[in-house]
Amino acid sequence: MNDEQRPPLWRQLQAVAQVLQAVRRGQSGTAALDAVAPASRPGVQALSFEVLRSLGRAQALRKLLAPRTPPPMVDALLCTALALLWRPETAHYDTFTLVNQAVECAKKTPAIKPQAAFVNACLRRFLRERDALLAQTDRDPVARWNHPAWWIEQLQAEWPQQWQAILAAADQQAPMVLRVNARRTTQDRYLLALREAGLAATPVGSYGVMLAAACPVQHLPGFADGWVSVQDSAAQLVAPLLLAGLPSRPGLRVLDACAAPGGKTAHVLELADLAVTALDVDAERCQRIHQTLGRLGLQAEVMTADAAQVASWWQGEPFDAILLDAPCSASGIVRRHPDIRWLRRQTDIAQLAAIQSRLLAQLWPLLKVGGRLLYCTCSVFRAEGEQQIQAFLASNTQAALLPSPGHLLAGMSAQGAVASDNPIGDHDGFYYALLEKVAA
């Protein structure tokens, strides 16, 4: 979109403030952004992500500037502007332009027009007293780390050596990583195709390609023809882990128990000829599985079902392998979805762990002796990873833990810091445990 087509900044700020209000009401950022006009969405998303990554700081600053909480839309607009202003070295716009456009937004939003002078006064005071105000908020951990207090405290307890790196990584923009479809091309050939298209990239792992800069998928060579999919490099470990050590004969029965949107299902099918059943509890999300497989030229039996309600969908024939990418806090992918940290509550972790435990208990009997179950979550919390599997192993004598990555912490290789368990560089936070079913 050129400058003539881009909506004025005040209108983008208005939309970002509305997204922030929606997140504060408990709506996902994805759903809130879907309500934005398509022409404005890319710019509004970029600004919304920046605001959500700095929301802790912005809220602390707003409290200093306006101790009495303003009406919701005024508060959202102030926090939006402060999140974009507080760090001028990374700001997309000049500070005075941002202030002027935030005030213009207030003037052109009927519900808060009478508050325009108040918005102007708060933001201009911030510009005058910036250093002193920032120094005051530096003492607030929520402002310093831009995560809820309970989240920070939990990471400090569970990862005493790495918690700061985990939080810092969560505030960075994630790289765009592609998975090469091994049925259509190779990693080397696709890197060449990218170079010919003028797109810089580096290889990651066995099937991954990391772009130097993100771009629309329509600009990727062969995307419409199924050459590649967008998938983080940590998520690309699923298929090789699940298939390693299994017999290579065609037709092995594999279950992907929580499959939408289908990326991991697709990778398994790209690497082997298998009979895959892909489940998801949501019919609309199952359509996304069909779309994913259709673009890649792959086939699976896709069913709308609750994996834990085994009697409603299982036909009685055991599986050679099961992938349980369990519902979780998504605490390992907050750099891609910065709204998650503000939507989650501390009580969610125990509730999600109970769901994960139930799924493990219900699906384990469906696995053949000698078969493998890969449990994974995109979480950095131990209750959803290591502690979950330790409890399962303690109560299942037929389960043996095979060599697995365990907890992978989000990497920051672009900034020069890499967690000790992060040999493949910049990736999201995940947990992996590969279990084999042994004879009783």
Catalytic residue selected from 105, 286, 328, 378: 378
Cis peptide before 405 (omega within 30 of 0): no
Backbone angles phi, psi at 379, to 5 degrees: -130, 150
Block residue for tokens 């003028």: 198
CA distance 314 to 324: 15
3-state helix, strand, coil in the chain (%, to 5): 50, 15, 35
Residue 231 CA from chain centroid, whole number: 11
CB 254 within 8 A of CB 275: yes
DSSP per residue, 165-220? HHHHHHTSPPPPEEEE-TTT--HHHHHHHHHHTT--EEEETTTEEEESS---GGGS
What token pair was written down for 63?
């409290």
CB 437 within 8 A of CB 368: yes
What token pair was written down for 328?
């979780």
- CA-derived radius of gyration, the chain: 24
Q: Is 79 a catalytic residue?
A: no
CB 429 within 8 A of CB 174: no
Block residue for tokens 């990584």: 169
CA distance 350 to 104: 45
Query: Which of 237, 284, 232 minimizes the C-alpha distance to 261?
Result: 284
Backbone angles phi, psi at 357, to 5 degrees: -60, -40
Residue 438 CA from chain centroid, whole number: 34
CB 405 within 8 A of CB 432: yes
Reading phi first (left if > 0) and then psi (alpha if -120 to 50, else beta), residue 409 is in: beta
**Which residues are tagged catalytic?**
378
